[in-house]
Amino acid sequence: MTDMAADQKAKRNVGVLVLAQAILGAQMPMIFTVGGLAGQSLASNVCLATLPISLIVLGSMLTATPLSAFMQRFGRRAGFVLGAMGGATGGAIGAYGLYLGSFPVFLLGSFLTGIYMSAQGFYRFAAADTASDSFKPKAISYVMAGGLLSAIIGPQLVKVTSESMVVPFLGTYLTVIALNVVGAFLFVGLDIPKPKPANAEDGPSRSRWELITTPRIAVAVIVATVSYALMNLMMTSTPLAVVGCGFSKGNAADVVSAHVLAMFAPSFFTGHLIARFGVEKIMGTGLLLLTAAGLVALQGVALENFFAALILLGLGWNFGFIGATTMLAEAHTAAERGRMQGLNDLIVFGGVTMASLASGGLMNCSGGSAVEGWTAVNLAMAPALALAGGALLWLVLRPSEERMA
């Protein structure tokens, strides 16, 4: 099959995945906006306020490998429908926890929501499954751009639903259920063949250890983990910091909305930039933007500081994460897909889980004010940025034949 014919199918699949990213993906900015605030109202200890979000990420981390194996066997469509049903179940239990005023029940719902978050993480890889090498970075980028609509839809739904019922945030979680049920039907239009098992003609399939110690794969995983973890570290704390510094929940939703727009709006051209300048330069730019986000946040807690820092954070995540995803997708075979992609998301969301857990403690339990907590969150970014920057520099300085192997 020619690249042009293959890409016709890839473009149809990208269209389905863009819609899924927009509709199903709207639940993530919704939950990340209200999850910490809901946790703060239910938890007996304010240091546990962001635990619901941490458990979403933990659920995503623990289900990444089995979900990837499930899709390797049964296909992307079955895996994505399973993810949507996990999101609906998590939303229902979370809503029930809010109705009861039970923090443990609410936490259980958050954990199950991680099944959806894990499935959503594979949308970007699914975009590359049927794409030619030339279209692959653009396909990944376009699917990530679907998050632009989710960035608009999600926070606006929060404004409409968060106080729509007597129990705060209950309406938001009921809306999450509806998004998952409706969104699951989108995958009827997905046409991605199940990968063929490896055979002798393809050469030996590498073990997980051999994959993760391949230089390009190792650096891709490190940069993806740092980009996503630091984005989560700051974003999880942002609603608490904005409200804690005297602004409204509506202001917090607007800041999160601007952040998520910045995460996904560049996706319309990130793939083109990767094709033109090379994936390493785009990943490096992403790390520099993440550094700038932390520096701006440390300059003050005026509303414009929150907006500027979170916009830079979104841009940095986009370049770092899409660049790392592209590098990873080009570094393994179709037969290694289930093994490597599951391992990648296990590591990535493991890092995000730790960042999310640290976020609540840093924000609520570092010093005696929201300002001091917000400062601690942003200072904590430095070691991870040094690790990712050093790893990327190490890869770039290797001989070209070793770097591309």
Q: Cβ(292)–Cβ(316) under 8 Å?
A: yes
Q: Do 314 and 263 touch, CB atoms closer than 8 A? A: yes
CA-closest candidate to residue 39, choices 22, 55, 51, 25:
51
Give pLDDT, residue 114.
Answer: 93
Which residues does 253 contact at the CB level (< 8 Å), separation at least 6?
A: 33, 155, 158, 159, 239
* Cβ neighbourhood burial of 321 (10 Å; 0-12, 13-18, 19+): buried
Mean pLDDT over 89-107 rounds to 95
Percent of the chain scoring above 70 in pLDDT: 95
The tokens describing 185, both together, are 């039907």
Stretch 310-315: mean pLDDT: 96
Per-residue confidence at 47, pLDDT binned at 50, 70, 90? confident
**DSSP assignment string, 227-283:** HHHHHHHHHHHHHHHHHHTT--HHHHHHHHHHHHHHHHTTHHHHHHHHHHH-HHHHH
Is the Cβ–Cβ distance between 68 and 338 less than 8 Å?
Answer: yes
Q: Tokens at residue 393, please?
A: 């520099």
pLDDT of residue 4: 62
- Average of per-residue pLDDT across 1-30: 83
The rounded distance, in Å, linking the Cα atoms of 153 and 261 is 11
**Geometric angle at alpha carbon 261, from 256 and 263, rounded to 5°:** 95
| Domains of the chain and CATH, by start | 7-190+207-403 (1.20.1250.20)
* Average pLDDT of every residue of the chain: 87
- Of the candidates 140, 146, 139, the one whose C-alpha atom is nearest the C-alpha of residue 7 is 139
**DSSP string over 92-145:** HHHHHHHHHT-HHHHHHHHHHHHHHHHHHHTHHHHHHHT--TTTHHHHHHHHHH
- The predicted-structure confidence for 235-292, as pLDDT tens digits, reads as follows 888 888 998 898 887 888 789 888 878 988 888 888 889 988 999 999 999 999 999 9
Residue 107 pLDDT class (50, 70, 90 cuts): very high
Q: Confidence class of residue 338 from pLDDT cuts 50, 70 and 90?
A: confident
Please report the pLDDT score of residue 73 as a whole number: 87
The pLDDT assigned to 279 comes to 92
The model's pLDDT over 54-69, given as tens digits with 9 standing for 90+, comes to 899 889 889 988 998 8
Rounded CA separation 119/58 (Å): 13
Q: Give the mean pLDDT of 101-118.
A: 94
Confidence at residue 403, expressed as pLDDT on a 0 to 100 scale: 55
Mean pLDDT, residues 368-374 taken together: 87
* pTM score of the predicted model: 0.76
Give me the percent of the chain exceeding a pLDDT of 90.
44
Question: pLDDT-based confidence at 295, cuts 50/70/90?
Answer: very high
- Which backbone phi and psi does 66 adopt, to 5 degrees? -65, -35
The band of 309, judged by pLDDT with boundaries at 50, 70 and 90, is: very high
Contact 234, 28 (CB under 8 A): no
Average pLDDT over residues 309-326: 94
Helix (H, G, I), strand (E, B) or coil at 196: coil
- Top-ranked range on mean pLDDT: pick from 29-33, 78-82, 189-193, 263-267: 78-82
User: Which tokens is 6 given?
Assistant: 């293959």
- Cα dihedral across residues 270, 276, 278, 283: positive or negative: negative
Of 13-22, 121-130, 381-390, minimum mean pLDDT range: 121-130
Taking only the tens place, the pLDDT of each residue in 383-396 is 999 999 999 999 99
- Cα(218)–Cα(189) distance, integer angstroms: 34
Instruction: Give φ, ψ of 246 to 5 degrees.
Output: 100, 5
Distances (CA, A) of 398 to 190, 213, 280, 286, 402: 40, 15, 12, 21, 6
Per DSSP, the three-state class of 299 is coil
CA of residue 53 relative to chain centroid, distance: 12
